[in-house]
Amino acid sequence: MNQIDDALARKRFFALNLMRLMGAAFVAIGFILISGGFALAGQPTDRWIGTAIVLVGAFDFAVMPLLLARRWRSPKDL
């Protein structure tokens, strides 16, 4: 591996971890909205918004890093 490949690998690693961190933050914010910790539009609308944010956060946390890693995987030489 050369320096360019190392730099690209570091950037991709940072992107994957940032995706996981943002997903976890979305989940936390969604649960705060669901519990009524702060108000956006008032209940019960906040519960629906919070549920949507939790689902997006869970997708960002669990699925997106796998999709990106698969897309960025090095091709296998035959």
Q: What kind and span of H or E run contains 52?
A: helix 45-62
Q: Note whether residue 23 is domain-resident.
A: no
d(CA 78, CA 65): 26
Q: Note whether residue 6 is domain-resident.
A: no
Q: Note whether residue 25 is domain-resident.
A: no
Q: Note whether residue 28 is domain-resident.
A: no
What is the chain's percent helix, strand, coil content, to nearest 5? 75, 0, 25
pLDDT value at position 63?
95
pLDDT value at position 12?
93
Total structural domains in the chain?
1
pLDDT value at position 78?
53
Q: Note whether residue 22 is domain-resident.
A: no
Q: Note whether residue 34 is domain-resident.
A: no
Burial label for 22, CB within 10 Å (0-12, 13-18, 19+), is: middle
Q: Note whether residue 50 is domain-resident.
A: yes
Query: What is the pLDDT tens value at each position of the chain, 78 positions in all?
Result: 688 888 998 999 999 999 999 999 999 999 999 999 988 888 899 999 999 999 999 999 999 999 999 998 877 765
Q: Note whether residue 68 is domain-resident.
A: yes
Q: At what angle do helices 45-62 and 3-35 cross, to 10 degrees?
A: 160
